Chain A
Amino acid sequence: MPNRHRVVVITGPERYGCRWERGRTYMTDTQPGAPDIDEASLLHRLVVRFAGDSGDGMQLTGDRFTSVSASYGNDLSTFPDYPAEIRAPAGTVHGVSAFQVHISDHEITTPGDQPNVLVAMNPAALMADLGRLERGGTLIVNEDAFDERNLQKAGYATDPLGDGSLDTYRVIHVPMTSLTKEATASLGVKPRDAERSKNFFALGLVSWMYTRPIDPTLEWIETKFGTNELVAGANREAFLAGYNFGETTEAVGHRYEVRPAQLPGGEYTSVTGNTALAWGIVAAGQLAKLPVTLGSYPITPASDILHELSKHKQFGVRTVQAEDEIAAIGMALGAAFAGHLGVTATSGPGVALKSETTSLAVSVELPLLIVDIQRGGPSTGLPTKTEAADLNIAMYGRHSEAPLPIVAAYSPTHCFAAAIEAVRIAVKYRTPVILLSDGFLANGSEPWRLPDVDTLPDISVPFATAYNGTDSDGEDVFYPFQRDPETLARPWAIPGTRDLMHRIGGLEKADVTGNISYDSENHERMVKLRAAKVARIADDLPPIELVGDLDADVCVLGWGSTWAAIDAGVQRRRREGHKVAWVHLTHLSPLPNDLGDILRRFERVVVPELNMGQLCRIVRAEYLVDATAVTKMQGLPFTTAEIEAAIDTALDAVASNGGTPTTTTDNHGQGRP
């Protein structure tokens, strides 16, 4: 295989071990204490979607099902999908909150295209989510909620439970509300309060149907609600009632089991993207040997980073809930000037507000981490839904020439490593770095084989401590813009350091001395030096790792959270015998040095993005490759089927273009210009 571009081709399942340290190459035994599965049929994978009112506790229910499945040993991926309103009017379709979880006995990356099971706590949930359920899938409905008023609020003219419209599904009618009330009556719980435990009834029922261990949930209820015995008791009884309902009622029928996945040995936890990102910031502070100061203003879906970091003051992490987005980044920049790791976390509207300070950080060349958890936009847009359309603002959203590095996380657990990588670049090159994540990664969770923290890299850099030049009188002086010849980074001299007092600011600085300079040639030199510093980071990146077939005609180019669906889609097409290549970018600015040469090898480059083709336009402009955008702007991640369809379209185009059939293994390179 020609290797002049240092392409690392990874084809087997070991790609995880090599590339992303998720390492999933080893078989594992069934967990000790796993339920007896003689009576249960085995499933390889299962997608469950819990849907109900915003106040029905669906997020918590899904979260519990996920936790139990994680500790049981399944691989999994989750997709919380909730409205922007905290408590939208009860019973309405726009108030439906859902949690989708995909569990499996093998490696998976997506939360599943179509649920196999839909739990609908009311007519609105059924109306909102029935269309997602697979044909013939299992539908569990809380029939108590299907009264005239709720049907009307959901927009049903007739009761779908009685009009035959659900005949193509396997429908399990459960009077969850009344059964929950009955189960909790002996505790003395008021009926209205008892009703609030019905989500635990649903959880119990689904736990029985899919053979989930019950002890972890019972223990969790004790821990979580232990101080309020009445609530703990109601939830416990509701959960057990649901479980027993499955066991004793023929209506539920057969029981299924999803065995633990073949995960490599090690210690695992389950983590959301935002938590992993926050932990990555804590870790980066330790690895850079810098105290962390976070300035942040509440914004969905980034607030959890502020919440999480505020909990870890024992690491010396200082957090301030600033008066606005501008103050948040201002505080982070001030902290960076003073020698801390300055961080701010926000979403698109906040990135817009921070733009001027980001430009100042580019100009004064201080390290800064700007986290953008992307959401649907523009403006307030779809604040609780995912989108990845901030690449343009990250790349270009500043006045004048103000390039900066951009790092993008691609999975919930990768948020940890991505945060460390972003900080590594920021401190080494003394530059603001934008770290892109999105709502799908932020709230989604997956198992994470914990890294050995002792093996994480040292990313610390020394502060300047001494004079670095001599002036015209032969006096020792400190030049704040005297650059490191290798990295072009300027010295980071922090207040408190003797003799190195200096002033920085937004006015153009004279090369080397840093004094104010309006000199025209100096300005152009400084513009080019700042750009060259960022461009040079490309030399500091590992070679691109290409998944799949180097001799394919079609290459999928991805970034960010599309990773999950692309992974599933590419692997599926390759298993079917098609040749497909895939490059997933973590570094979007600067782009890797070898990207152009790699993309030019392929007849077709397909770029799936949750935007209108932002990366696609960049690679077309940079490399003059005829890349095609595959776009989606629905507040939802790509499904695997959509990626497969995009690959098929590209494969068909190649075939009809007279290209050799894509399933052969001929050397395609020969006839290529």
Chain B
Amino acid sequence: MSDTAVNVTSKKDWASDQEVRWCPGCGDYGILLAVQQLMPELGVAPENTVFISGIGCSSRFPYYMNTYGVHSIHGRAPAIATGVAIARPDLDVWVVTGDGDGLSIGGNHLIHALRRNVDLTILLFNNRIYGLTKGQYSPTSEIGKVTKSTPAGSIDPPFNPLSVALGAEASFVARTHDLDRKHMMETFRAAHDHRGAAFVEIFQNCNVFNDGQFTDIVRRQNRDEMLIELVHGEPIRFGADRQRGVSVGADGQLRIVDVAEVGEEAILVHDAERNDPSLAFALARLSNDDHSPTPFGIFRRVQRQEYASAIAAQLAQASERKGPGDLAALLRSNGTWNVTSTN
């Protein structure tokens, strides 16, 4: 993100020569298109861009980008990306992961990358299912979900990815979905421009193993009533006539209300830059299923020290205090004595 020179590229400069091999109709295609279309607008260069992924359907993503990339190990992308980012703060580092990869096997790395605020743009494709292993429940699957590994229904309470990210002290948290390229591009752009770890949950449809999971919310004809768009500084309202909104109840709970009933002044004004994460957390948990109004957009965007620059500052400080590294002096740092040869 330190690229200052604007690089002129076109969408085709960002597509690799590899055939895209997701299932026909997969939501991943829309996300890939949004990213490839966004990159020229960011003015960055393919050679300064790195995509790191783990394992899963979404993790094939780097193969389709004409950038540097690593398709690594299940769950480990945030750790490997952290290594890239701290070694080379000059690079744009993206992480592509999924609900299984990022929240199950790799949950530890994800939360610690967010906690450290490493300068990464993390895209978590959430389809609430294990696709690449052909249909087992995931850590975001709802209770009762019947899958190959849960024929009697899942009994595991699911994670809310945004709650996890906020709990891990993430400085940028957003949600978008695979059917709205414009919204994805806007969200990805903001995530990219954020200095520090940016976490984006993408509702992504797996049309083979979990088709239609998000349809109630994201289908075009449902969006007005079901999709609550968060805009920083604006009252949180939705509905075809923006007749509904979110307000804070007397008990501190967020509630969906009719604006006419409570009055405009009772509607919560969205403040993504609020340092206290509790409202963002409450918004992230406004809906606990995929069948009721659900907020999208940027939940939280705050500035705090980015990890690689903190490392660089300590290196600079050490050089200033001790001078540049001197190997001969290092070997003498425990104290020495001389032995005189008599030969």
Contacts and interface: CB of A to CB of B under 8 A. Distances in A.
Interface of A: 26-29, 67, 70-71, 73, 260, 263-271, 275, 279, 282-283, 286, 291, 293, 295, 312-316, 318, 320, 322-324, 326-328, 330-340, 342, 356-357, 360, 364, 449-451, 453, 495-507, 515-516
A663 B80 CA distance: 59
12 contacts: A267-B339, A314-B319, A316-B325, A318-B86, A322-B112, A330-B72, A331-B80, A337-B70, A449-B339, A501-B66, A501-B68, A504-B69
Contacts of A323: 79, 108-109, 112
B165 interface: no
Nearest to B59: A505
B84 A269 contact: no
Given A265-B341, A318-B315, A501 B79 contact: no
B317 to A, nearest CB: 8
Which of A286, A334, A360 has the most C-beta atoms of chain B within 10 angstroms of its own C-beta?
A334
Which of B50, B76, B79, B337 has the most C-beta atoms of chain A within 10 angstroms of its own C-beta?
B79
Interface residues of B, number: 63
Contacts of A451: 331
Contacts of B47: 495-501
Nearest to A515: B18
B340 A453 contact: no
B50 A26 contact: no
Contact of B73 (A291, A357, A515): A357
B24 interface: no
Contacts of B68: 337, 495, 501-503
- Interchain residue pairs A-B with the least CB separation, the first 7: A334-B83, A265-B341, A505-B71, A330-B79, A315-B325, A313-B318, A331-B83
Contact of A269 (B69, B314, B318, B332): B332
B341 A331 contact: no
A312 B311 contact: no
Interface in B50-98: 50-52, 55, 62-63, 65-73, 76, 79-88, 90-91
A155 to B, nearest CB: 40
Which of A323, A453, A515 has the most C-beta atoms of chain B within 10 angstroms of its own C-beta?
A323
Given A314-B324, A334-B81, A264 B71 contact: no
A30 to B, nearest CB: 10
A327 B118 CA distance: 14
Which of A27, A315, A356 has the most C-beta atoms of chain B within 10 angstroms of its own C-beta?
A315
A293 B88 CA distance: 11
Nearest to B342: A27
Contacts of A73: 337, 339
B327 A334 contact: no
Nearest to B337: A71
A619 to B, nearest CB: 33
B83 A295 contact: yes
B336 interface: yes
Given A268-B336, A282-B330, A315-B325, A26 B341 contact: yes
Which of A316, A327, A339, A453 has the most C-beta atoms of chain B within 10 angstroms of its own C-beta?
A327
Given A320-B86, A360-B72, A516-B63, A269 B331 contact: yes
Nearest to B334: A269
Given A265-B339, A501-B47, 8 more contacts: A27-B341, A291-B87, A314-B318, A326-B76, A330-B80, A342-B83, A502-B68, A503-B16
Contact of A327 (B51, B109, B328): B109
Contact of B328 (A67, A331, A453): A453
Interface in B104-126: 108-109, 112
Nearest to B46: A501
Given A331-B86, A501-B46, A501-B66, A269 B335 contact: yes
Contact of A337 (B73, B83, B342): B83
Contacts of A333: 72, 80, 83
B154 interface: no
B151 interface: no
Given A330-B76, A337-B70, A356-B73, A28 B83 contact: no
Contacts of A339: 87-88
Contact of A275 (B324, B334, B335): B334
A502 B46 CA distance: 10
Nearest to A493: B68
Contacts of B339: 28, 73, 260, 263-268, 449
A451 B330 CA distance: 12
B49 to A, nearest CB: 8
A501 B67 contact: yes
Contacts of B341: 26-28, 264-266
A575 to B, nearest CB: 23
B112 A503 contact: no
A506 B71 contact: yes
Given A312-B325, A516-B63, A279 B330 contact: yes
A67 B336 CA distance: 10
Contacts of A269: 331-332, 334-337
Contacts of B82: 320, 327, 330-331, 334
Nearest to B52: A334
B53 to A, nearest CB: 8
A271 B62 CA distance: 46
Given A357-B73, A450-B336, A495-B48, A286 B325 contact: yes
B252 interface: no
B79 A505 contact: no
Contact of A27 (B49, B323, B324, B343): B343
Contacts of A293: 83, 86-87
Contacts of B315: 313-314, 316, 318
Contact of B334 (A271, A332, A360, A496): A271
A335 B70 contact: no
Nearest to A286: B327
Contacts of B324: 314
A338 B83 CA distance: 8
